[in-house]
A and B are shown apart, each in its own frame.
Chain A
Amino acid sequence: MATSETEKSGPGVSVASTSEFSLFFRIKPGHASALREALRALQNTPGYQPGDYNLAIATIHEARFVPFDDDTRLLFATSFDGPWDAYMEDFLTSGSTLALFDAVFQHVEGYEGLPDLAALKAFILGAQRTAGGYARNYPGTVKEIRKALRVNNAFQRVLDDPAAADALQHPALKPLLDEAAD
């Protein structure tokens, strides 16, 4: 697990630029199936379907909702670029994400609905727990990863060109040639 490389960033733990953010809720009695239905609906929202890679918040790496303890509790866990606590008010005033999450939060205790921001902030902060361990397998923000993927896709297209082997012989391209063999 990350130890020396992590640092406190508000109440979350971070590795390099990215911080973990986990919320634990209690599901209202009798709301378990409605909650699962809301999660299915969220999963079917454009941007959230497999292969869409277009979540409403562009600075999170991934996110999951996990009902547990016989559907009496709910975990929301994500990895966020930057210290998430600095952006709390921004989340609460950005309509797009909140509107999506509103349908889920209806089924957990302590949620009083939109748009009382003070209550909403207390609700979120009350559900947040800091990780006891947090590790990552790659550095970089979502923006950097997306850029890296675009660059690699472009590089693969270059390698598909029959003239690539000759072109990559130029000394300025040696770092690329070193990555070209496999």
Chain B
Amino acid sequence: MSAPTATASLRLEHDDIQGGVLHQRPSPYVGTYLLLRIDDRRAGRELIRRLLPAVGSASASSDPAQDAWVTVAFTHQGLKALGVPKGSLDSFAPEFRQGMAARAAELGEAIWRQDCYQLPTGRTSFGFKDGIGQPAVEGSGIPASNPLERPIKAGEFILGYPDETGDLPPMPTPTVIGRNGTYIVFRKLHTRVAAYRRYLRDRAADRKEEALLGAKMVGRWHSGAPLVLAPDHDDPELGGDDTRNNAFLYGHDRRGLKCPAGAHARRANPRDALDEEGSVDVRLHRMIRRGTSYGPILPDGVLEDDGADRGIIFVFAGSHLKRQFEFVKTQWLNDGIFIGAPREQDPLVGRPAGNGAFTIPKQPIRRRLREMPPFVVTRGGEYCFAPGLGGLRWLAELTI
């Protein structure tokens, strides 16, 4: 693996890319997801016109005082309602045209408004620091968090640039709507925090073992410290150090004695763990994630469900819905064939039907957790498309 390049020859059109695509959300944060239905195309276009000044570009100042922005994305139905011509509508990716409900029968009701804010702990409802392992985007000017991974080609995340295959990702027409745009997935994931805590409590001798089992399932400790670098106990200093908490590979831990092959973070991004297989190129399956938390925290130590709705709004940005989001979900999170454990799914987000198993490699004898109930329930979601700023203007100025 060659050294990461700080500057790339390729120039991204930062002033046309929506800021939220390339830039990580601030911390702490508050926000709102709004799903609007467009009934009148002229009113819809007027809305876009008025929104445009609030939509920051990726070149906007990173001044914390101005760290508020709007990202606008459309469903296929939304583009249709705005009066986008049929030839253009038909040029979008087939997964996007079908919509998430058609791709996954188990999805539930639609979201209309969802407020989100960072919990006082700065962590997810399960108690973990999140959003750490973001891919570096070549040409973005944003430094890589993992110096051991070459930045990913911009075309994997932004349409109009070469991707990891060397080709341009399929782009909808006309160019103005496609270029500098990206596909967005959002899903509302309800976290069953009490069930998760109870499951760990029942299987751990003490709080220390409880934390260890939780870390083995996630691949990181609560602080964000990765198991590969901190195998035995949490290291808050490491977890809080963004120059070190993502600087690792799995090559020296093939058997998963430090971080289980089935751990959530290792499944979602196996790094170099599959390099010997010859059948998978992990660089084709990277995801920009912009997840946030919603709902109140379940106070520390509470093991009974309080009935509150809490969880994660999972947000993905990328050029390839199928080989990025859908591949990671179906091959790496919902299946275990790739790690030689076809009967195991992701310990956090897998097995909607429950009754999961999870193997924790350990000397002298591995431990296997069984009868895992679902800890995450998908409430709904949709596939969207976030055009570049020029694309938004084109939509606002449609006249048909």
Q: Which residues of A contact B51 (CB under 8 A)?
A: none
Are B278 and A89 within 8 A (Cβ)?
A: no
Are B284 and A90 within 8 A (Cβ)?
A: yes
Q: With an 8 A cutoff between CB atoms, is A147 at the interface?
A: yes
What is the total of A-B residue contacts with beta carbons within 8 Å? 64
Q: With an 8 A cutoff between CB atoms, is A118 at the interface?
A: yes
Q: With an 8 A cutoff between CB atoms, is A115 at the interface?
A: yes
Select from chain B the residue with minimum beta-carbon distance to A93: B281
Q: Could you say which interface size class chain B belongs to?
A: 20 to 34
Report Cα–Cα, A115/B281, bound state, in Å: 16
Report Cα–Cα, A82/B284, bound state, in Å: 17
Mask: chain B, 267-297; 1 = CB below 8 Å from A; 0 = not: 0000000001111110010000000000000
Q: Which of B167, B279, B280, B327 has the most CB of A within 10 A?
A: B279
Among candidates A55, A86, A90, A143, residue contacting B281 with C-beta atoms closer than 8 Å: A90
Report Cα–Cα, A17/B336, bound state, in Å: 9
Tell me which of A38-46, A56-64, A65-73, A158-166 binds B. Answer: A56-64
Q: With an 8 A cutoff between CB atoms, is A152 at the interface?
A: no
Q: Which residues of A contact B278 (CB under 8 A)?
A: 55-59, 94, 96-97
Q: A117-B166, A118-B167, A141-B340 are in contact. Are A59 and B279 (CB under 8 A)?
A: yes
Q: Which residues of A contact B164 (CB under 8 A)?
A: 93
Q: Which residues of A contact B103 (CB under 8 A)?
A: none
Select from chain B the residue with minimum beta-carbon distance to A18: B337
Q: Which residues of B contact A55 (CB under 8 A)?
A: 278
B147-172 residues with Cβ-Cβ distance < 8 A to A are 164-167
The number of chain A residues with a CB under 8 A from chain B is 29
Are A16 and B342 within 8 A (Cβ)?
A: yes
Are B279 and A94 within 8 A (Cβ)?
A: yes
Q: Which residues of A contact B331 (CB under 8 A)?
A: 82-83, 86
Are B342 and A17 within 8 A (Cβ)?
A: yes
Are A93 and B279 within 8 A (Cβ)?
A: no
Are B281 and A94 within 8 A (Cβ)?
A: yes
Q: Which residues of A contact B339 (CB under 8 A)?
A: 143
Q: With an 8 A cutoff between CB atoms, is B335 at the interface?
A: yes
Q: Which residues of B contact A92 (CB under 8 A)?
A: 165
Report Cα–Cα, A59/B342, bound state, in Å: 13
Report Cα–Cα, A86/B335, bound state, in Å: 13
For the complex formed, measure the closest distance between the CB of A120 and the CB atoms of chain B, giving whole angstroms: 10
Among candidates A60, A82, A91, residue contacting B338 with C-beta atoms closer than 8 Å: A82
Are B166 and A115 within 8 A (Cβ)?
A: yes
Q: With an 8 A cutoff between CB atoms, is A138 at the interface?
A: no
Sample (20) of A-B pairs whose CB atoms are under 8 Å apart: A17-B337, A17-B342, A58-B277, A59-B279, A59-B338, A81-B337, A81-B338, A86-B330, A86-B331, A87-B280, A89-B165, A89-B281, A90-B280, A93-B164, A93-B284, A118-B167, A141-B337, A141-B340, A144-B340, A147-B340
Given contacts A58-B279, A83-B331, 13 further A-B contacts (CB under 8 A): A16-B342, A56-B278, A81-B337, A82-B331, A86-B323, A89-B281, A90-B279, A90-B281, A96-B278, A118-B167, A141-B337, A141-B342, A143-B340
Closest 4 pairs between A and B when the two form their complex, measured CB to CB: A143-B340, A58-B277, A57-B278, A59-B279
